[in-house]
Chains A and B, each alone.
Chain A
Amino acid sequence: DVKVTQSSRYLVKRTGEKVFLECVQDMDHENMFWYRQDPGLGLRLIYFSYDVKMKEKGDIPEGYSVSREKKERFSLILESASTNQTSMYLCASSLLQGTSGANVLTFGAGSRLTVL
């Protein structure tokens, strides 16, 4: 009954490496989101997408990019990982704004990234 799947639960990368975090949802949701979660800071939005090939910056987009080539898949890319990007990354999806239930985000289990 998994609805939002994040490809990796744990990753360890080195500074400067390119990192891809993949997220797939099977609910035909239009919106997809990437958050990072840090102790004492809660969840902060990195990027979101409301349609294929569309993306919008969230609160902390610096150092990240995203790709949405298919409706069900939303990728987060760290072009050159840095130690301050060590964090838990959460992907979520939702129906389009204005649709009944649109506001409810369904989350994946998270990807814990460590950058050495």
Chain B
Amino acid sequence: AQKVTQAQTEISVVEKEDVTLDCVYETRDTTYYLFWYKQPPSGELVFLIRRNSFDEQNEISGRYSWNFQKSTSSFNFTITASQVVDSAVYFCALRYETGANNLFFGTGTRLTVIP
């Protein structure tokens, strides 16, 4: 079975603090893809990153960075120097190689950045 766990339901940080959003996944497939999406108050999910199971390199994009560790089945997301515009719900998702072209989503983490 495929499963994505985001144990943090809500997080609040003060602006300029760093924050890490956790994502733990389960899959028996050897080939899979992991994603992070951001859902701002407007409602539309925005794609942030995709990582395949063969690429464990960490990635940095501006203030955003992602730490993929197969040994712990985790794909954590860190925002450095958080800003109010980072306030949103963040979803981690998993897609396996075979079968339907579907994403399995975690339950999301609501991040509030306090000015």
Contacts and interface: CB of A to CB of B under 8 A. Distances in A.
A and B assemble together: yes
Interface of A: 9, 31, 33, 35, 40-45, 48, 50, 56, 58, 88, 90, 92, 94, 96-97, 102-110
A3 B107 CA distance: 25
Nearest to A33: B102
A75 to B, nearest CB: 19
Contact of A48 (B42, B45, B47, B102): B102
Nearest to B98: A97
A55 B105 CA distance: 21
B44 A103 contact: no
A97 B101 contact: yes
B85 interface: no
A106 B35 CA distance: 12
A106 B47 contact: yes
B35 A48 contact: no
Interface of B: 4, 6, 9, 33, 35, 37, 42-47, 50, 91, 95, 100-103, 105-108
Among A43, A48, A50, A107, chain B packs the most CB atoms within 10 A around the CB of A43
A31 B45 CA distance: 17
B105 to A, nearest CB: 4
Given A43-B91, A109-B42, A110-B43, A103 B105 contact: no
Nearest to B34: A103
A66 to B, nearest CB: 14
B101 A43 contact: no
A35 B35 CA distance: 16
A102 to B, nearest CB: 7
A104 B105 contact: no
In the A-B complex, list the 4 residue pairs whose CB atoms are closest, starting with the nearest: A107-B45, A42-B107, A110-B43, A43-B105
A102 B101 CA distance: 8
Contacts of B47: 104-106
A52 to B, nearest CB: 16
B101 A48 contact: yes
Contacts of A44: 105
A50 B101 contact: yes
